[in-house]
């Protein structure tokens, strides 16, 4: 079998979308290749190799990384022009705050992979060690930047990755367009079409106590537990007060509840993805109140279950909802409330549900198609199936 090395900072059990996406891609590739994970780890620990399911994980120390400082600097830059024009000095500081993983090239030389997947745009090592694109003996390089931010894609560190890439993978159509614009079409960008499985049989069973509250809207404030969360957003009580007889279920990390005008029930369930599907499947709509993520996985899952979505504008979730015709999006709290009210109209809701489910089934619901798509993306059209 061919050998694939995935170089990433996103592995393990961290509750973030990039880790989930990396594991989905790795799992699909494992059907056709031996997959080695090169995990850049900060704070740095001594190099070691371990086994995680079917993968060998090579832990590589990441020195000098300061992710919190980098996030604060990006947020500060974004207050002016949303980070579109980052000064050269600031870009240099951001690059330095990413740290350095000088051991990666030697490890890749030892592994001698047929293909290298760079999962995530933070790759603080010298990609020139992979050789020139198309050079004899050089591995095929696939970049999964996981950002639709044009300023990030045009930054010097990410531009170097794309200059070496044979192909780039996009988590959604907005990212594909951003990649095409940033590289002026010099690098082919393809939609990943992540295979997202939902257990419809399990989702058919309502959570205990939910039926008492009748029709409800599901709002996601934080999921999975430990994930990102806004300090302030539309409250459970404010949203419920605008919806008449419609109840509101809320997922907020480890705390799940549902309430109507008179009663509130704390849901005594584990904050698992299966239980989230059970709430999604029977909701009028899924409303995402979280800071936008790079993948929009829960939006895809809701559409697969036939539940329309209300999501923040200029996000991965927004791209999915627009492509699917399966939901509405908002710029502020007023538009959020208006969108949820609009979905109380059953005719609109049913139309969005049918359109969204049809799109999600076609582009994200077939795992065999996803496995084949990853094989072609990473190993090339001419690679043989074992």
In the prediction, which pLDDT does 377 show? 97
In the prediction, which pLDDT does 384 show? 44
In the prediction, which pLDDT does 234 show? 87
Residue of 207, 187, 350, 215 whose CA lies nearest to 270: 207
In the prediction, which pLDDT does 235 show? 84
Q: What is the DSSP letter of 364?
A: H
Contacts of 169 (CB under 8 A, 6+ apart): 142, 143, 144, 189, 190, 191, 192, 377
In this structure, the dihedral spanned by the alpha carbons of residues 192, 193, 195 and 200, taken in order and rounded to 10 degrees, is 160
In the prediction, which pLDDT does 84 show? 57
In the prediction, which pLDDT does 81 show? 58
Q: Where are the beta strands (DSSP E) in 53-173?
A: 55-61, 115-119, 140-144, 167-170
In the prediction, which pLDDT does 3 show? 98
Residue of 46, 21, 4 whose CA lies nearest to 121: 21
Q: What is the DSSP letter of 199?
A: -
Q: How many CA atoms lie within 13 A of 298 on its CB side?
A: 34
Evaluate the omega torsion of the peptide bond into residue 116 and state whether it is cis, within 30 degrees of 0: no
In the prediction, which pLDDT does 336 show? 95
Distance, CA of 37 to CA of 57 (rounded, Å): 5
DSSP string, 341-380: HHTTSHHHHHHHHHHHHHHHHHHHS-HHHHHHHHHHHHH-
In the prediction, which pLDDT does 386 show? 41
Give the Cβ contact number of residue 274 at 10 Å.
13
Diameter of the chain measured on Cα atoms? 71
Q: At 264, phi and psi to the nearest 5?
A: -135, 135
- Per the CB < 8 A criterion, the answer to whether 316 and 174 are in contact is yes
**Average pLDDT of adjacent 10-residue blocks, the chain of 386 residues:** 96 87 96 97 88 95 82 72 64 77 96 97 94 92 93 87 96 96 94 94 93 95 91 85 90 95 92 96 97 95 98 96 98 94 94 98 96 96 54
DSSP string, 176-197: HHHHHHHTTTSS-EEE------
In the prediction, which pLDDT does 382 show? 63
């Amino acid at each position: 079998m061919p050998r694939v090395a995935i170089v990433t900072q996103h592995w393990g059990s961290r509750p973030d979308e990039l880790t989930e996406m990396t594991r989905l891609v790795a799992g699909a590739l494992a059907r056709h290749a031996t997959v080695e994970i090169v995990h850049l780890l900060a704070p740095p620990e001594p190099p070691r190799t371990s086994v995680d399911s079917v993968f060998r994980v090579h832990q590589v120390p990441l020195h000098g990384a300061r992710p919190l400082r980098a996030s604060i600097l990006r947020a500060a830059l974004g207050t002016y022009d949303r980070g579109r024009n980052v000064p050269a000095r600031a870009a240099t500081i951001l690059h330095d705050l990413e740290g350095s993983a000088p051991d990666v090239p030697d490890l890749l030389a030892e592994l001698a992979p047929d293909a290298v997947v760079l999962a995530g745009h933070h790759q603080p090592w010298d990609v020139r060690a992979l050789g020139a694109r198309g050079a004899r003996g050089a591995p095929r390089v696939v970049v999964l930047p996981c950002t639709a931010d044009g300023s990030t894609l045009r930054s010097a560190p990410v531009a170097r990755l794309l200059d070496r890439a044979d192909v780039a993978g996009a988590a959604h159509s907005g990212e594909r367009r951003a990649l095409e614009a940033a590289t002026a079409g010099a690098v082919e960008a393809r939609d990943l079409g992540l295979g997202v499985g939902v257990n419809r049989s399990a989702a058919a069973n309502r959570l205990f106590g939910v039926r008492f509250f009748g029709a409800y809207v599901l709002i996601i404030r934080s999921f999975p537990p430990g994930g990102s969360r806004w300090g302030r957003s539309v409250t459970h009580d404010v949203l419920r007060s605008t919806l008449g007889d419609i109840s509101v279920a809320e997922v907020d990390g480890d705390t799940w509840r549902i309430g109507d005008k008179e009663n509130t029930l704390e849901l005594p369930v584990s904050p698992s993805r299966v239980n989230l599907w059970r709430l999604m499947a029977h909701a009028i709509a899924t409303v995402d109140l979280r800071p936008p993520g790079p993948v929009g996985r829960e939006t895809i899952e809701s559409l697969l279950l036939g539940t329309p979505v209300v999501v923040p504008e200029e996000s991965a979730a927004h791209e999915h909802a627009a492509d699917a015709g399966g939901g509405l999006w908002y710029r502020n709290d007023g538009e959020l409330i208006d969108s949820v009210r609009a979905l109380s109209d059953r005719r609109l809701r049913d139309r969005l549900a049918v359109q969204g489910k049809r799109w999600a089934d076609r582009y994200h619901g077939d795992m065999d198609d996803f496995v084949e798509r990853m094989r072609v993306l990473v190993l090339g059209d001419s690679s043989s199936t074992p």
